[in-house]
Amino acid sequence: MAKLPHFIHNTDIGQNFLIDHSIVDFMVDRAALTLDDMVLEIGPGEGILTEGLLSAECGGLCTVELDTRLKHVIDMLAVKDSRLHPFWGDAVKFNYCKELPWIPNRVIANLPYHITTPLLWVLLEQLVPAGLKYLLLMVQLESAQRIISPPCHRERSPLGITVEAIGTSRILRNVPPTAFRPQPRVNSCIIEIKIERNLGLPADPVWRALLARSFAQRRKTLINNWLSGYAKITREAALEILGRHGLKDSSRAEELPLDIWFELAGEPEFCLKNSACKGE
């Protein structure tokens, strides 16, 4: 496959291209693709993982890449293998359900690190309700730690809580900077996410708003974040909510276990029509 000159690598858009074939082999083996699997790859870059995925027995592969200077490389692979469908555009703004020829049941990718969190929200919101079941991703280690963090951990996050609510996640292995060109200044890893339940949750506006507003300022307590984020919730009402769920006035968002988040999402005060956001 033709290789791009070094100058074309644009680290401003996350172009730290994977060059280690052993990592590709690990991801392809782990995914254990069959002809029933329709795969989505974000940021194929120079196509090293793309080639690996096409070497497996997948039913089809769609790629989404922002940098059209890479087009001739991916198009060359598409000419050789009709299962490959390249698309070009911003992965965060892409309408996957509308633009792709089919709904992928698997996402396997080396994600651009600077858009990992917003991109994952988009993928979960659009594709999980439609049939996405599995993600195998190369991400920055710090991002993966936020996803897998348990209650009372400082890295606990809205995305991690949502992933916990819809399935399971685990870090499979670390990946050194030498696996990329140019080498990133951060540590990387491969994370596996399996989707098993609550498929509509990532797109639920009440759930998303509750988590976003509860984590708005990590140094603040839940009650203070709610008072800042919900225009129609009073301090008295917020204290009553905490009391009903056995929470202290000093409780913070990162401390709460998943079952409490489910309970809070059912509170009528958090219904969006009853609790407009400040500034809306």
The pLDDT confidence band at residue 274, using thresholds 50, 70 and 90, is low
Q: What is the mean pLDDT of the chain?
A: 92
251 vs 5, 41, 177, 195, 226, CA distance in Å?
53, 40, 38, 29, 12
Helical (H) or strand (E) element with 109:
strand 106-110
Note whether 115 and 29 are same-domain residues: yes
Q: Which residue type does 82 have? A: S
Q: Which of 151, 178, 199 lies at the terminal end of a domain, its last residue?
A: 199
Residue 221 sits in a domain whose CATH number is 1.10.8.100
For 33, 105, 211, 244, the CA distances from 131, given in Å and listed in that order, are 16, 6, 24, 36
Q: Which helix (H) or strand (E) holds 73?
A: helix 71-80
CA dihedral 208, 213, 216, 220 (to 10 degrees): -140
Percent of the chain with pLDDT over 70: 92
pLDDT (0 to 100) of residue 77: 97
CATH number at residue 87: 3.40.50.150
Cβ–Cβ under 8 Å, residues 130 and 114: no
147 and 167 Cβ atoms separated by less than 8 Å = no
Per-residue pLDDT band at 5 (split at 50, 70, 90): very low
Burial class (CB in 10 A: 0-12, 13-18, 19+), 88: middle
pLDDT tens per residue, range 201-246: 999 999 999 999 999 999 999 999 999 999 889 999 999 999 999 9
User: Tens digit of pLDDT for each residue in 187-202?
Assistant: 999 999 999 999 999 9
What is the count of structural domains for the chain? 2
pLDDT of residue 15: 72
Q: Is residue 8 part of a domain?
A: no
The verdict on 80 and 145 lying in the same domain is: yes
30-64 pLDDT, tens per residue? Answer: 999 999 999 999 999 999 999 999 999 999 999 99
- The Cα angle at residue 161 between residues 156 and 162, in degrees rounded to 5: 145
For 157, residues 6+ apart whose C-beta sits below 8 A from its C-beta are 146, 147, 149, 215
Q: Determine the pLDDT at residue 276.
A: 61
Model pTM?
0.92
Q: What is the pLDDT of residues 249-260, one digit of tens each?
A: 999 999 999 999
The predicted-structure confidence for 155-184, as pLDDT tens digits, reads as follows 999 999 999 999 999 999 999 999 999 999
Please indicate, yes or no, if residue 247 is contained in any of the structural domains: yes
Domain assignment of residue 164, given as a range = 15-199
pLDDT band at 271 (very low <50, low <70, confident <90, very high): confident
